[in-house]
């Protein structure tokens, strides 16, 4: 009935917003910004009406949660990095219909999920940063899904991702893109060292592991990656437990997925963390 038209793993580093502002870091994240704009362009070309973001900056302790308010508007300052993102205005349409469909199908699959449309929940910057560059004209509706799942396991997140796809394809009358918004390795620069790691990964082990992972992705070796994901997450400080990545891959077939990714913004270091923009081709399950 509906179409999952595009899937991607994307960066949301707050230095992208800093990159817009006058000062010593102006332009520092132009490649990442350009990558977001290209992904947005492709979504438009594919007729996408709604973007669903698995956002690792939305922490939850129980169940899976969907923010599907009819409209989002506000001025955002990051409580984590208020010197990077401050007074960022935003406004986007939401999609309550799709949000409730996602929750319904996930619950039917045995994954406890709640959709919130009558809510004062705000968007987190894992959603706000990419939407700033992909959706500045409010072309796309936005649905945000909690991706920082503190007491959840990765196989259940993969099962949730599959339910997201099934809800879109079997019940939704429209075209959707899904984004896993989070980093690869995620060891932030220790306090007091941030400036020297502005464009670096924290440790060579983390960078080399990330680069090996990207190589697996480009070769389509998903069985190997899915098998290593739990330990990769543990040893490389996965952002939000890498539940966003598990959700994305669950929607694409998990370890049965075989397509190679298309890297849009090559791997880069940012404040100690490893980042990328990459499109995951949507293939039949």
Please write the tens of the pLDDT for every residue from 159-218: 999 999 999 999 999 999 999 999 999 999 999 999 999 999 999 999 999 999 999 999
CATH of the domain at 90: 3.40.830.10
Domain that holds residue 161: 3-279
What is the count of structural domains for the chain?
1
- DSSP 3-state of 57: strand
Residue 58 lies in a domain: yes
Tell me: the pLDDT tens digits for 226-264? 999 999 999 999 999 999 999 999 999 999 999 999 999
Residue 87 lies in a domain: yes
Residue 284 lies in a domain: no
Residue 108 lies in a domain: yes
Residue 130 lies in a domain: yes
Residue 255 lies in a domain: yes
Q: Is the pTM of this model over 0.85?
A: yes
Residue 140 lies in a domain: yes
Quickly list DSSP for 161-228. HHHHHHHHHHH-SSEEEEEEE--SS--PPPTT-GGGGTTSBS-HHHHHHHHHHHHHHHHT-HHHHHHH
Residue 285 lies in a domain: no
Give the DSSP H or E segment for 100.
helix 96-108
Neighbours of 61 (CB within 10 A): 10
């Amino acid at each position: 009935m509906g179409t999952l038209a595009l899937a991607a793993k994307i960066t949301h580093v707050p230095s992208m917003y800093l990159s817009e502002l006058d000062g010593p870091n102006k332009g520092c994240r132009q490649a990442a910004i350009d990558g977001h704009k290209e992904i947005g362009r492709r979504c438009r070309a594919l007729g996408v009406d709604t973007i669903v973001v698995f956002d690792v900056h939305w922490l939850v302790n129980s169940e899976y949660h969907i923010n599907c308010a009819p409209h989002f508007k506000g001025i955002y300052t990051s409580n984590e990095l208020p010197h990077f993102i401050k007074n960022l205005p935003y406004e986007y349409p939401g999609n309550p219909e799709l949000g409730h469909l996602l929750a319904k199908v996930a619950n039917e699959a045995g994954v406890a999920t709640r959709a919130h449309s009558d809510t004062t929940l705000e968007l987190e910057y894992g959603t706000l940063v990419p939407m700033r560059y992909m959706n500045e004209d409010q072309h796309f509706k936005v649905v945000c899904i909690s991706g920082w799942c503190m007491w959840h396991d990765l196989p259940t997140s993969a099962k949730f991702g599959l339910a997201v796809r099934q809800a879109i394809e079997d019940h939704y009358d429209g075209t959707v893109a899904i984004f896993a918004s989070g980093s690869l390795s995620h060891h932030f620069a220790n306090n007091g060292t941030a400036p020297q790691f502005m464009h670096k990964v924290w440790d060579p082990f983390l960078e080399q592991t990330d680069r090996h992972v990207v190589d697996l992705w480009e070769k389509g070796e998903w069985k190997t990656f899915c098998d290593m994901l739990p330990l990769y997450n543990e040893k490389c400080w996965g952002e939000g437990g890498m539940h966003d990545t598990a959700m994305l891959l669950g929607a694409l077939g998990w370890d049965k997925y075989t397509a190679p990714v298309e890297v849009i913004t090559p791997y880069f270091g940012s404040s100690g963390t490893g980042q990328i923009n990459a499109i995951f081709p949507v293939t039949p399950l």
